[in-house]
Amino acid sequence: MKYYVGIDFGGTSMKIGIINEEGSIIIKNSCVTDPNKSGDDIIKHIAECTQKVINNSKLPQKDIMGIGIGTPGLLNPETGVLKVAVNIPNLNGIHVTKGISDILGKPTFLDNDVNTMSLGEFYYGAGKGLKHVIALTLGTGVGGGIILNGELYRGASFTAGELGHVSISRDGKSCPCGNNGCLERYIGRDGIIERFMVSKNKGVETSIDKYLEDGEVTPKAIAMAAGDGDVLSIRVLEETGKILGSVLATLVNALNPQAIIIGGGVSNAGELILGPARIEMMKLAYSIPANDVKLVRAELGNDAGLVGSASLAVANLK
Amino acid sequence: MKYYVGIDFGGTSMKIGIINEEGSIIIKNSCVTDPNKSGDDIIKHIAECTQKVINNSKLPQKDIMGIGIGTPGLLNPETGVLKVAVNIPNLNGIHVTKGISDILGKPTFLDNDVNTMSLGEFYYGAGKGLKHVIALTLGTGVGGGIILNGELYRGASFTAGELGHVSISRDGKSCPCGNNGCLERYIGRDGIIERFMVSKNKGVETSIDKYLEDGEVTPKAIAMAAGDGDVLSIRVLEETGKILGSVLATLVNALNPQAIIIGGGVSNAGELILGPARIEMMKLAYSIPANDVKLVRAELGNDAGLVGSASLAVANLK
């Protein structure tokens, strides 16, 4: 059996785990690092945390094939250099993969977390056994990973799959990216809440209050209310699906994938979003590729980041 | 020197030619076949026409590496079977590549003409030296070919790049494909003419009449009038570019290509369409991939079909 280490690096905190060839997690742990340390010391600390997990697994060193790191920062997956780290400026410009592999003696790979999560679903989740897959993550942000002919496709400047900034309306909501009408502004976490609140503040009736934690409207609360029949919540999620589906239709025409996999926190609303998304996608896409694609939820859930990171090592070492 | 045969198969008539490794045409000819013959006899006739071109080239048989066929019909590029031939029903279901290679003794490949033209531009035209290229053909129809990591990407059911049927408006113009708002209905030949005529028939002033052949408004006449300053013609081509650019922006975000290459008869309007398309694309696309892509005209002109077909052999035999 071969084993792969995944580091789901969220900033100062990270999850570290080991998967086997079937994608099952053998062991996992988490670790917090001090952002005030030097870049080299942070790398040393990540390596130590990882070594501890490897030691605790009691697996033979030789069966650990490599290490994959997924992170939301800006980076170069070919060189393994982190350009802009999230919450740890001291890591900016650090050659992360070299640092880790020099200490641990294992081939190490780095990519953005949306790409690694896509690889995880491709190898071990909803995309298992397929060749052409688009994975979308709906959460605070909206991101995508594109796998074609069994390989992660990164593009000329490693931004392929940047679907959160597809503009759906040239005069639409302004986005911090500088553009208008970005998809993320409508179906990302805040976009969904905003659309809900606009109606609620206009006095549209809703039973949402029953579902709030700390009085805060969240996509989770909206999904719960919708599940119990709250009409406004259902409508807001339907709209979300419809907007998503219209963009997916274009991707279906362009890329003729076998599956589109939707993950991230917002996707927990499940068919309340995916149902309308599927209808809109089927309506707007060309019939041949539309009939050959399935639109499904991601399967890896809370482990998506960890399994995904390890999958990056799988992809590079297979 | 290695040589490749291209057959640009338009239906009953075809162009046949040979290119060298640099994409230069060594010899070319055309041939008309009788649609009433049996499928096998038509294949035999295509092979004879091809053999004649090879003989006339005086090239050594051993230097002819293979044969590529591009055609607008429906087909399976993996098996080489033509499913629905244009204007020659007797060829439906015929294993074209096997038929030709059995007679001529050369490896033979089949793909749709938009894909082959994209390969031609990729190897020998505006995409030379690049890795990630999207090629669009604007003519009666609007089609696309996608080359990623140096390979033609076909998708799950060989419809990748079907960009003419991207819906730009869910309640837009109806399309024979059954959908509404297909890009082709707005910026294909008829779509452009239709938008022009709507304004002309409303009495908007235009000097178009000076540029008409046989009294018929065509994209060519509109481009000529626009080139001479006709305000309505300029506006119609600007609109065309703007619509094109909005779809290109989504492709730029999704695929982060190095170049988008625009060919086909309508593209002869050049910067009158590409200028506004570029502005809209840059406005709506995410800044990183937008700054790394160039939007340019195809370079192969009238030989695009022939060089493209031969390029299919290059792609398969390199």
Work out the average pLDDT over A270-284: 97
| pLDDT confidence band for A222 (50 / 70 / 90) | very high
Closest CA to A155 of A93, A76, A97, A251: A76
pLDDT > 90: percent of chain B: 96
**What pTM was estimated for this model as a whole?**
0.95
Domains along chain B with CATH numbers: 3-120+303-317 (3.30.420.40), 130-298 (3.30.420.40)
Q: What's chain B's average pLDDT? A: 96
> What pLDDT digit, counting tens, does each position of B194-235 carry?
999 999 999 999 999 999 999 999 999 999 999 999 999 999
CB pair distance less than 8 Å for A170 and B246: yes
- pLDDT value of position B295: 98
DSSP letter for each residue of A241-269: HHHHHHHHHHHHHHH--SEEEEESGGGGG
Which residue of chain B is at minimal alpha-carbon distance from A181? B284
Interchain CB distance below 8 Å, A162 and B132? no
- Per residue in B244-281, pLDDT (tens digit) is 999 999 999 999 999 999 999 999 999 999 999 999 99
Q: Indicate the pLDDT class of residue B180, thresholds 50, 70 and 90.
A: very high
The whole-number average pLDDT for the span A147-167 is 96
B12 band by pLDDT with thresholds 50, 70 and 90? confident
A chain contacts of residue B285, beta-carbon cutoff 8 Å: 165, 167, 179
Res A73: pLDDT: 83
Please determine, for residue A12, whether its predicted confidence score (pLDDT) is greater than 90: no
Banded pLDDT at A248 (limits 50, 70, 90): very high
Which residues on A lie below 8 Å from B144 (Cβ)?
254
Q: What is the pLDDT of residue A99?
A: 97
Query: Could you report the per-residue pLDDT of B74-86, keeping only the tens digit for each?
Result: 899 999 999 998 8
Cβ contact A161–B286 (<8 Å): no
Mean pLDDT of chain A: 96
Average pLDDT rounded to a whole number, residues A247-265: 97
Which positions in chain A touch B157 (Cβ < 8 Å)? 256, 288-289, 292
Tell me what pLDDT residue B239 has.
Answer: 98
Q: Is the pLDDT of residue B87 over 90?
A: no
Measured distance CA(A315)–CA(B9) in Å, rounded: 40
CB proximity under 8 Å: B 173-212 to A? 177-179, 181
The proportion of chain A whose per-residue pLDDT surpasses 90, expressed as a percent, equals 96
Query: What pLDDT is stored for residue B135 in this prediction?
Result: 98
Is A167 an 8 Å CB contact of chain B? yes
Interface of A with B in 138-157 (CB under 8 A): 144, 146, 148-149, 151, 153-157
Provide the shortest C-alpha distance from residue A153 to chain B (in Å): 8
Residue among A181, A258, A288 whose CB faces B159 most closely: A288
Q: For residues B25-36, give the mean pLDDT.
A: 95
pLDDT > 90? residue A318: no
> What is the rounded average pLDDT of the residues A296-300?
97
Give the closest-approach CA distance of A255 to chain B in angstroms: 5
Q: What is the pLDDT of residues A45-66, one digit of tens each?
A: 999 999 999 999 999 999 999 9
Q: What is the pLDDT of residue A72?
A: 92
Pick the residue of A154, A182, A256, A283 with the most B CBs within 10 A to test the interface with B by mutation: A256
Contact A144, A163 (CB under 8 A): yes
Task: Report yes or no: A217 at the B interface, CB cutoff 8 Å.
Answer: no
Looking at the complex, does the CB of residue B74 fall below 8 Å from at least one CB of chain A? no
Determine the pLDDT at residue B86.
85
User: Taking CB atoms and an 8 Å limit, are B160 and A251 in contact across chains?
Assistant: no
Helices (H), A202-318: 219-227, 231-255, 271-284, 287-291, 304-317
Collapse the DSSP code of A31 into the 3-class scheme (helix H, G, I; strand E, B; otherwise coil) and give the result: strand
